């Protein structure tokens, strides 16, 4: 029976369970998405689709173990088994999937790290978010091909120091777990490019973070840390830094020494000032400052002429420097939810601007709400140009 006939048979048995199917030029099914419900099991004919390369199963709420017949799909490269409320076990036969590079097991009921995963020597991406796993075991070191590990929303109490020996790991995400510390060995991951630490009760961030010389993206969100380590300045490849909801009133001077930064996002921090040293971030293209106590930007800020996006929403700004006209590469400008009474005419000089947000400015008089309301971008810019030409 060919794959088309098998698909038709599955449709006859399971109704609308098939959400998507993709064939190659030879009529073989190579990608399949199935969605079940608590009354259905996986159709047995599925395991006969021997050319399948990508499979997604979701919503099979009665399934406690993935069927051992999964081993028949030896060409699988991508396997996603999501939102199966009782799924807590993987079969040993999973090791037959020698070509598997991506395994997505998010939103299931795994209470322990599934041992069957450890035999997947080609695995590059492992997503275990939203399960009930408490421990990342020492045996994780067996996954030497692993490049991306997502552990968000698990009740993790321990991450094995062996994580430091995952020499190919490039991305690690930890969100909403009760971890109070991270193993120092984590900072030995010389190839790590992305690190996201969010909603963790971490007592501090180790100075050893400065050893992650390959780091490109760093997200630090909702952490009860009292300071950021000076060693951040050693992250010479860092391109994106996101800092939000930290109990800080000022940032480490090291932040303003990361000259490689192109994107800097600071949100929901009781920050009162941006220091003049921000001028060191000469490669900065995107700057987001939201939900702080900042009321003015230093004069040096306006020399950051590579800026393409400037978001200053939800701060304490009452005025804006005419030097904003220097930001000729600016495409997006958000000044919403501040205390401006007037905005400078030089906004009209921003020739590359594609979008501007002037909402929630209750004290603004120039331009007046009547000018802004329902106005197009070009009309708003024309208004500012007219102010400039009139000398107002």
Residue range 347-374, pLDDT digits in tens: 999 999 999 999 999 999 999 988 898 8
Sign of the C-alpha dihedral computed for residues 238, 290, 342 and 354 taken in this order: positive
Euclidean distance between CA atoms 166 and 148, whole angstroms? 10
Report in angstroms the alpha-carbon separations of 171 from 124, 197, 314, 334, 355. Answer: 10, 11, 31, 31, 33
Q: Which secondary structure element, helix H or strand E, spans residue 126, and what is its range? A: strand 125-127
Residue 309: how many CB atoms within 10 A of its CB?
Answer: 17
- Model pLDDT, residue 37: 66
Q: 46-69, pLDDT tens digit by residue?
A: 999 999 999 999 999 989 999 999
Residue 158: how many CB atoms within 10 A of its CB?
Answer: 12
Helix (H, G, I), strand (E, B) or coil at 383: helix
- Model pLDDT, residue 198: 96
Residue 255: how many CB atoms within 10 A of its CB?
Answer: 22
**pTM exceeding 0.85:** yes
- Model pLDDT, residue 150: 98
* Superfamily (CATH H level) for 308-392: Ribonuclease Inhibitor (3.80.10.10)
- Model pLDDT, residue 11: 83
- Which pairs from 257-263 meet CB under 8 Å and 24+ separation? 257/232, 257/233, 258/232, 258/233, 259/283, 260/235, 260/236, 262/286, 263/239
- Model pLDDT, residue 95: 94
Residues in the chain with pLDDT < 50?
Answer: none
- Model pLDDT, residue 369: 87
Percent of the chain's residues with pLDDT above 70: 98
């Amino acid at each position: 029976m060919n794959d088309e006939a098998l698909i038709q048979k599955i449709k006859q048995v399971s109704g609308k369970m098939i959400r998507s199917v993709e064939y190659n030029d030879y009529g073989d099914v190579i990608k399949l998405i199935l969605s079940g419900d608590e009354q259905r099991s996986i159709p047995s004919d599925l395991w006969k689709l021997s050319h399948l390369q990508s499979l997604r199963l979701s919503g099979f709420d009665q399934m406690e173990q993935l069927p051992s017949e999964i081993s028949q799909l030896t060409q699988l490269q991508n396997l996603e088994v999501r939102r199966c409320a009782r799924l807590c076990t993987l079969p040993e036969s999973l090791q037959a999937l020698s070509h598997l590079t991506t395994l997505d097991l998010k939103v299931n009921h795994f209470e322990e790290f599934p041992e069957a995963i450890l035999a997947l020597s080609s695995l590059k991406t492992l997503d275990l978010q939203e399960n009930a796993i408490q421990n990342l075991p020492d045996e994780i070191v067996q996954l030497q091909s692993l490049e991306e590990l997502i552990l968000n929303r698990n009740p993790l109490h321990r991450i094995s120091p062996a994580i430091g020996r995952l020499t190919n790991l490039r991305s690690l995400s930890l969100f909403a777990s009760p971890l109070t510390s991270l193993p120092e060995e984590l900072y030995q991951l010389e190839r790590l490019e992305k690190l996201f630490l969010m909603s963790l009760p971490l007592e501090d961030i180790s100075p050893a973070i400065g050893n992650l010389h390959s780091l490109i993206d760093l997200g630090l969100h909702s952490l009860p840390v009292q300071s950021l380590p000076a060693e951040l300045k050693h992250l010479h490849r860092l391109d994106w830094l996101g800092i939000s909801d930290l109990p800080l009133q000022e940032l480490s001077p090291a932040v303003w020494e990361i000259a490689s930064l192109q994107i800097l996002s600071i949100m929901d921090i009781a920050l009162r000032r941006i220091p003049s040293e921000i001028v060191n971030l000469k490669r900065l293209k995107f700057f987001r400052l939201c939900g702080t106590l900042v009321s003015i930007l230093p004069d040096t800020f306006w020399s950051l002429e590579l800026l393409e996006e400037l978001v200053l929403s939800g701060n304490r700004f009452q005025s804006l420097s005419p030097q904003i006209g220097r930001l000729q590469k600016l495409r997006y400008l958000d000044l919403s939810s501040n205390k401006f009474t007037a905005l400078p005419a030089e906004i009209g000089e921003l020739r590359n601007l594609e979008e501007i947000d002037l909402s929630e400015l209750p004290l603004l008089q120039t331009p007046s709400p009547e000018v802004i309301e329902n106005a197009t971008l070009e009309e708003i810019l024309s208004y500012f140009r007219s102010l400039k030409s009139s000398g107002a």
